[in-house]
Amino acid sequence: VELGGERLGARAEFMYYLLHKPAGYVSATEDTREKTVLELVPKDSRRNLFPVGRLDKDTEGLLLLTNDGMLAHELLSPKKHVDKKYYVETDGLLTDEHRKLFKNGIKVDDEFTAKEAELQILSSGDKGSKAYLTIREGKYHQVKRMMEAVGNTVTYLKRISMGPLTLPEDMETGTSRMLTDSEINMLKGGK
Q: Is 56 a catalytic residue?
A: yes
E-strand stretches of 22-171? 25-26, 35-36, 50-51, 60-66, 84-90, 106-109, 112-114, 118-125, 128-135, 154-162, 165-166
Annotated catalytic residue within 44, 56, 170, 181: 56
Nearest CA-CA partner of 76 in 57, 48, 50, 52:
52
With a CB cutoff of 8 Å and minimum separation 6, the contacts of 136 are 81, 82, 83, 84, 115, 116, 117
Strands 60-66, 50-51: parallel, antiparallel or unpaired by DSSP?
Answer: antiparallel
Contact 90, 155 (CB under 8 A): yes
What's the Cα-to-Cα distance from 78 to each of 14, 34, 100, 138, rounded to whole Å? 23, 29, 23, 8
SS3 94: coil
Give catalytic residues, as residue numbers: 56
